A and B are shown apart, each in its own frame.
Chain A
Amino acid sequence: MSLNDSSHSTPLLELETITCGYDPNKPVVRALSFSVAKGEMISLLGSSGCGKTTVLRAIAGFNPVHSGQILLRGKTLSKAGFTLPPEKRQVGMVFQDYALFPHLTVEQNVAYGLKGHPRERIQSITHEMLQLVGLESMTRRHPHELSGGQQQRVALARALAPHPELILFDEPFSNLDVDLRERLGLEVRQILTSQGTTGILVTHDQHEAFAWGDRIGILHKGSLCQWGTPYELYHQPVDPFVAGFIGQGTFLYGTCDFPDTVQTAAGLLTGKPSGYRPKVGDAVRVLIRPDDVKKDDDSPILTRVVRRAFQGASTLYTLELTTGCQLQALFPSHMDYGIGTQLPIRVAPDHLVLFANPTPGMLYECRPSTLE
């Protein structure tokens, strides 16, 4: 687990083994650490109740930390017994429900955080921000007169206006439909990059997290499981939870023949091992991604199609080996096989992702893998 790989630049935000939650005796988040460099885009990914929003609210200053500390540019924002009030942190936030002030116009909403500047300055910043998000024609409208996507943009403009170095996004796209969600996500990311602002996004949607994050933290039950690039998370998951949480796939059970070879029901698998290093003879589980399975007419390994789900450019097949194990395979959609078709396959993983087998008796067995 590599937590602090931002050594190449000075970290903007640092979380040092923080523990936080509503009840000090039952912390939601335990001993969490990571650091974020300036200009970096970060996603915190996890299912509901994993503590990701709690972390975000601790950074914003709405929740205290019980131990550890949070630093922004080396200055302590939170530690046990001290919480700098949110209004003094200069950290922006975009809320899940946008939290636009219903009694103020778009313009007044954006100008809200600029109190204390001279009037012309407020006007010019407000105008600039609305232009940035493409809403300069809507300045006099009230929030309820805008669509969901437009409200989202106003919320962004409002958070950007006081020029915070860091903006926090709490599931900001979850109220939008899928199409708009993707488009707006990229757009917001672009705007932040153009302003040199750092963004931390909290979400339960892995597509969103991948599209947003230079680096992604996976949270589970209040701790950080893995911190890395999308590629690392997908191809080198550090534990079975991450392997199951990210992407699709199945586990095959087998025994380790050599450090880089595993004997399974789908034949001998070879590849660069990552993560767990078993000894020869150990019972292991191998993660097989759908794109690791290739059709190979010369292969002796026969499977039968049991399920198929058309996905447009490709089709996701569920294949059953003669032993009864099932695998998932992704083939281009013009390779069209009906249910019951016999398919010879070859499994060729790039990385050999191995985990210890919790039930060593189950050699060559496997379960349909919903992966925990």
Chain B
Amino acid sequence: MVVIVPLGVILSAWITPAWEVWHHLADTVLLELVMNTLILLFGVTAWVLLLGVGLAWLTAIYSFPGRRFFDWALLLPLAMPAYVLAFAMLGFLDYASPLQLWLTKRFGNNGYWFPDPRSPGMVVFLFSLSLYPYVYMLARTAFLGQGQRMLEASRMLGRSPWGAFFHAALPMARPAIAAGCALAAMEALADFGAVSVFGFNTFTTAIYKAWFGLFNLSAATQLASLLLLFVIVALSIERRMRGRAKYFSNDAHARMELIPLHGVHALLACGVSTLVLLLAFGLPMGQLLIWAWHQMATDLDGRFRDLVIHTVLLGGFAALLSTLLAFLLGLARKRHAGDRVTRLAAHLATLGYALPGSLLAVGVMLTLVWLSKWLDLVWPGGWGANGVNLFGGGILALLFAYLVRFLAVANGPVESGLETIRPSLMEAARSLGSSSMAAIWRIEFPILRPGLLTAILLVMVEVMKEMPATLLLRPFGWDTLAVRIHEMTSEGEWERAALPAVTLVLTGLLPLFWLVRRSGKH
């Protein structure tokens, strides 16, 4: 229900199309929006493929200096939201940046070639730097899961090492890789912060402008419905591929003998990994830290404290709510495993993650407007405007949107935790005299505790990073770190966006380390 209603509202926009809005859109921005979105989609997919698969293959198969470090360090960019990477790199490469000043001094004003940091190519490249870990992560798991035996068999049948890669390893990992690409593409579609930093118009920025610039909710809705189309395509690809990935993953205990690299090759492997890590994490982080250091004295004030408090409060509430809901959903699904309705509900409830925040904001807003109109009909008198304020302007709407979007995030760890609890455990508890409620409390809850904590942590960090929905739905005065970053970057004050950005990245590192450590233990 929680997910379907906002979605349904957006889809219903197609039933009553506002033709004049469409004409206006078609005349002005529609072509640019579609072109930009397509450039972004195809460019990002190509780049994340190259970066993600290449690096995954390197760290999974070969041993070279620093491999153990790169193994997990290459995941670090996950902690940096694309919009943070975008403004940090832009600040580093732009005309007034130290790098450009140095180059100008060295080579004269026009004495060197430098790529335009705001060109579509650059946008695509920066997106890829921030999104490649999705492909890297899934491809690496797939390569490791294949085990040595497959490669050896391929070599025995007469393939060169490269042949073995292209004819055995890559085709077998294809579903996982495709799923990773689809994830990256969905993230790129959903992004609002980074494209707005670059002034690169996509659906998300258009929705924002339609809402805040023109106060035209129906135009925003029409745009959202188009965006939804793209998302559905990407999502269906991801689902199909993920389903198939199961058939290809064999032995989890398959061991890999790493192939040692020597000399130039080792240097090259190490160099490429370092370069990617530097560009995607090191450089922007360094830039941010320098800026943050400069601004520390002025920005670290009561306002900043309020920002942090708001962010943590929202994140914490949303995390607790969605984890609780995920837990209840999981229990219900386990009790009624064969029930098709329960399965379908659980399936739909996890769709929210694929929905871009701006799209979701529009959906939630429309839902609440309708709800208050309906309330007005039932209990007439003063609901109309107040009702919208009561729901729409309130924290409630925001939490609702977070819940829809991040329920899937909480669902992952909770579900995999529940899967480890065999039904016989609950039966054993019952046969030893526990009622079914007591059994949930004494058995399922304690066993699930690590999974629940992971869920809370993950959702909290995701909520803290979330920008578009927060921007559109936040009640007046409830600025969060992400909102602050948007305000500052849209005015070009990059230094002043640095402190909140650093805070966000550091909190984003927390769950990453936690997860890496946990997976290291198993």
Contact = CB atoms under 8 A, between A and B. Distances in A.
Given A95-B424, A96-B424, A101 B443 contact: yes
B435 A60 contact: no
Query: What 7 pairs between A and B have smallest CB-CB spacing?
Result: A113-B432, A99-B428, A99-B424, A86-B430, A93-B431, A95-B424, A87-B433
B431 A87 contact: yes
Contacts of A102: 447
B433 A62 contact: no
Max count, chain A CB within 10 A of own CB: residue among B432, B435, B436: B432
B296 interface: no
Nearest to B424: A99
B446 A87 contact: no
A159 B427 CA distance: 12
Given A86-B430, A91-B431, A95-B424, 11 more contacts: A60-B427, A87-B430, A87-B432, A92-B432, A96-B424, A99-B425, A101-B425, A101-B428, A112-B429, A113-B432, A158-B428
A103 B435 CA distance: 19
B441 to A, nearest CB: 12
Nearest to B442: A112
Contacts of B442: 112
Interface string B414-443: 000000001011011111111110000011
A158 B432 contact: yes
Given A62-B427, A86-B427, A93-B428, A99 B433 contact: no
Nearest to B443: A101
Given A102-B447, A103-B446, A103-B447, A97 B422 contact: yes
A212 B425 CA distance: 25
A162 interface: yes
A96 B424 CA distance: 9
A100 B443 CA distance: 10
Contacts of B427: 60, 62, 86, 93, 95, 99
A203 to B, nearest CB: 17
A275 interface: no
A11 to B, nearest CB: 21
Contacts of B431: 60-61, 86-87, 89, 91-93, 159
Given A95-B424, A112-B429, A87 B434 contact: yes
Nearest to A92: B431
Contacts of B436: 85
Contacts of A103: 446-447
A103 B429 CA distance: 13
Given A93-B427, A99-B424, A162 B433 contact: yes
Interface in A34-73: 60-62
Contacts of A97: 422, 424
A106 to B, nearest CB: 14
A100 B422 CA distance: 10
B424 A112 contact: no
B444 to A, nearest CB: 10
Contact of A115 (B422, B424, B433): B433
B428 A87 contact: no
Interface of B: 422, 424-425, 427-436, 442-443, 446-447
Contacts, number: 61
B432 A162 contact: yes
Nearest to A91: B431
A254 to B, nearest CB: 50
B418 to A, nearest CB: 13
Contacts of A113: 432-433
A99 B424 CA distance: 6
Nearest to A104: B446
Contacts of B422: 97, 99
23 contacts: A60-B431, A62-B430, A85-B435, A87-B430, A87-B432, A87-B433, A89-B431, A90-B433, A92-B431, A92-B432, A93-B431, A95-B427, A99-B427, A99-B428, A101-B428, A101-B443, A101-B447, A112-B432, A112-B434, A112-B442, A159-B432, A162-B432, A162-B433
Contacts of A115: 433-434
Contacts of B433: 87-88, 90, 113, 115, 162
A89 B447 CA distance: 26
Max count, chain A CB within 10 A of own CB: residue among B422, B429, B430, B436: B430
B471 to A, nearest CB: 42
Interface string A307-343: 0000000000000000000000000000000000000
A158 B433 CA distance: 12
Contacts of A99: 422, 424-425, 427-428
Contacts of B432: 87, 92, 112-113, 158-159, 162
Nearest to A86: B430
A95 B425 CA distance: 9
Nearest to A110: B432
B425 to A, nearest CB: 5
A85 B446 contact: no
A151 to B, nearest CB: 12
Contacts of A87: 430-435
Nearest to B446: A103
Contacts of A93: 427-428, 431
Nearest to A111: B432
Nearest to B427: A62
A91 B435 CA distance: 14
A90 B435 CA distance: 13
Nearest to B448: A103
B101 to A, nearest CB: 60
A367 B443 CA distance: 56
A129 B63 CA distance: 53
Nearest to B450: A103
Contacts of B447: 101-103
A87 B422 CA distance: 18
A149 B430 CA distance: 23
A93 B425 CA distance: 11
A82 to B, nearest CB: 17
A85 B424 contact: no
Nearest to B430: A86
A98 to B, nearest CB: 8
Interface string A92-135: 11011101111100000000110100000000000000000000
A88 B434 CA distance: 9
Max count, chain A CB within 10 A of own CB: residue among B422, B425, B447: B425
